[in-house]
Amino acid sequence: MHYLCTYQPTETNMKKQLKKILMMASVVLTLIGCAGNTASFDEIVANRRSVRSYDSSRKISEEQIRTLIATTQEAPSWANVQATRYYVVMSEEKLNKVLPSMLANQEKASTAPVLIVTTYKQDQSGFFNGEAANEVGNSWGAYDAGLSNAFLVLKAKEMGFDTLIMGLRDADGLKKALDIPSDETVMTVVALGYGNQVPKRPDRKPLDEILKIK
């Protein structure tokens, strides 16, 4: 006579099996997550370069721009006034209007598929009730714009883009080409795209030359 031995799981055994399954699933998901991780913050900082030549055939979408600026907007600012503004130039028509205002940077800017003109609204950062809070005055607007630009270029690198911050430009020409209000100060133009080059990392000064711990 043959006996058919059947396993009758108890509630305790079922809980143990479920626990094992959940633990295995957790390990698998962790491994998948590790495999898909992007570069660390330190790697992004170390790999960012000022790139002066771009592949003009590789375009950037409006959705990507919105993602980039949404992260850039997280930069700290005086009393959270968020005085920095971004004028994103993507169309061929507008790029052609902006390029003459790039002066010595015109050749470098001409290959980038996107140019971002950054400005700040005057009398906001560093001001309370229309009065400067201290001797720095509107330079706080420039400070906040610099913080914002730092977020911008680092997020761009994290997204796979390259950038170049350009300070040589005709502010009046840019204001006219992009209808920038008179109460905004033009700071920089940032080239954005896929670089054609991988510049060597410039040497940094010895840490003790710039760091003073008291």
pLDDT in tens, 152-203: 999 999 999 999 999 999 999 999 999 999 999 999 999 999 999 888 999 9
Report the CATH number at residue 53: 3.40.109.10
Residue 123 domain flag: yes
> How many domains does the chain contain in total?
1
Residue 139 domain flag: yes
For 7, counting Cβ atoms within 10 Å of its Cβ (0-12 exposed, 13-18 middle, 19+ buried), the class is exposed
pLDDT of res. 29: 42
**Residue 150 near residue 188 (C-beta atoms within 8 A):** no
Determine the average pLDDT of the residues in 71-89: 97
Residue 11 domain flag: no
Residue 59 domain flag: yes
pLDDT of res. 15: 59
Residues 11-65: tens digit of each pLDDT: 566 556 655 555 555 444 444 444 445 789 999 999 999 999 999 999 999 999 9
Residue 22 domain flag: no
Residue 38 domain flag: no
- Give residue 77's domain range: 43-193
Whole-number Å distance between alpha carbons of 76 and 84? 11
Report the b/e string of 8-42 with b at 16+ CB within 10 A: eeeeeeeeeeeeeeeeeeeeeeeeeeeeeeeeeee
The enclosing H or E element of 10 equals none
The helix/strand/coil state of 186 is strand
pLDDT of res. 198: 87
pLDDT higher than threshold 50 for residue 127: yes
Residue 33 domain flag: no
Residue 134 domain flag: yes
